[in-house]
Amino acid sequence: MALAPKDQFIDDALEKRRDQHRLRQLRPLDPLDTVTVSDDGRQLINFSGNDYLGLSKHPEVIARSKKYAQEFGTSATASRLISGSYSIHQQLERKLANTFDWEAALVFNSGFQANSTIISTLADRHALILADKLSHNSLLQGSLSSRATFRRFEHNSISDLEQQLERASGEDFSRIIVITESLFSMDGDRSDLQAMAELTQAHNAWLFVDDAHAVGVWGKDGLGLTYVIRGIDMVLGTCGKAYGGFGAYLLCSEKVRTYLINFCPGFIYTTALPPAAIGAIDASLELIPELDETREQLLKNIQLVKEGIHQAGFTTGDSSTQIIPIMVGGEQDTLELAEYLEEHGFLATAIRPPTVPKGGARIRITLSSEHSTAQIENFLNALQSWSNG
């Protein structure tokens, strides 16, 4: 049989995406301030960013980022284990561990990289991974590449998790790792971490929690939904969201940290985070506990937006946070609504399968403390006018 042209599979895949209205495209959107972007000169209010506290433009965060670049250069120039582990990397890890009351912390280059490499380092092919059905793709990648037995439990269902743990106790796994997010990235709802911690402890299972969207915003002093919950073995925090920076870190025991430094490929075989990124994280980490008023403002914004969305006739699922899905359902309708909002000056991204389950297409709003009441009201008016037809 003659071989098809070698890039035929690419044409086929893209055509299928186009037919399904699922083709994704990049566009240049330059930030003008924390919530406004410029699309080729046209201003749009951004309801799709993760700068929840406006820290990406905070003068102290920018100043420390610049200072570290000036003092230490633009690159760490090597991986951590070769010569890229500067004093600032290690000081930051100590500061993270102290701030969050953990024995140890280890910095990674991104949340995606951390999740995909940590899970596959902890699990071997004799292990069992139990993941919440809506876990982020990076957690999925880590689970699949470990070659462990991979099972999902119903989203946020403690009873399903319990049944699966019971079932696993009769099987012969080397270890069990339970994975969840504290605040789900597409639905904006939260998991019951206390119950999960008790359950995993009772079953001698590890509990890995991705706190990416919660840290900075939720919990005492903005230290995340995992803060002060006993029985969690590892917490992943990302720095590209509320921190307004870039990178990620794992909170864990000294033993786990040493194990990862020795065995985790995504930690070992990559250039360390550049000084400018370390500086931004360092400054945000100091600022976050002081930002209760900023968090209060964000809560007010959440309240206002949710009320308006409901008044416009949409549901918001189980969201109880700054991530709010405006449920539409159909992919075409969702795209049309996103376009309509954009014509009215708002960036509110359509999220479609396969990122969310089939029939779950939505506009996903993410709020910042920096959105003004006027910006929110204008957005809600546009949504209402779409609903009025």
Question: Do residues 217 and 298 lie in contact, with contact meaning Cβ atoms separated by under 8 Å?
Answer: yes
Binding segment (CB under 6 A) for ligand PLP, from list 116-124, 207-215, 315-323, 355-363: 207-215
Q: How far is the CB of 250 from ligand PLP (least distance, A)?
A: 12
Classify strands 176-181 and 206-210 as parallel, antiparallel or unpaired: parallel
Asked whether position 334 contacts ligand PLP by CB under 6 A, the answer is no
Report cis status (omega within 30 of 0) of the bond before 354: yes
**Considering only 11-19, 31-39, 208-216, 373-381, which stretch makes contact with ligand PLP by CB under 6 A?**
208-216
Give me the amino acid identity at 376. I
Residues 225-244, one symbol each (x = binds ligand PLP by CB under 6 A, - = not), give -------------x-x----
CB 113 to ligand PLP: min, Å:
7
Residue from 58, 89, 203, 241 carrying the catalytic annotation = 241
Which residue matches tokens 């990122």?
Answer: 355
**Active-site residue, selected from the candidate residues 58, 89, 203, 213:** 213
Instruction: Give CA–CA dist 24/31, Å, rounded.
Output: 21
Residue 263 tokens, joined? 């065995």
In whole angstroms, the minimum distance from the beta carbon of 73 to ligand PLP comes to 23
Per CB under 6 A, the segment of 32-40, 145-153, 210-218, 356-364 that binds ligand PLP is 210-218
For ligand PLP, the binding residue among 97, 248, 305, 328 (CB under 6 A) is: 248
| Side-chain-side CA neighbours of residue 33 (13 Å) | 10
CB nearer ligand PLP, residue 54 or residue 111: 111
Question: What residues pair up with 44 in beta bridges, in sequence order?
Answer: 37
Assigned token pair, 320? 């109880």
Q: Interface residues for ligand PLP in 137-196 (CB under 6 A)?
A: 138, 181, 185
What does residue 339 show for φ and ψ, rounded to 5 degrees?
-65, -40
- Tell me if residue 185 is catalytic: yes
Which amino acid would we find at residue 163? Q
CA 21 to chain centre: 25
The encoded tokens of residue 242 equal 């509320």
- Within a 13 Å sphere around the CA of 365, how many CA atoms are in the beta-carbon half? 32
Q: Find the shortest distance in angstroms from Cβ 183 to ligand PLP.
A: 8
**Binding interface with ligand PLP (CB under 6 A):** 110-112, 115, 136, 138, 181, 185, 210, 212-213, 238, 240, 248
Residues labelled catalytic: 50, 136, 181, 185, 210, 213, 241
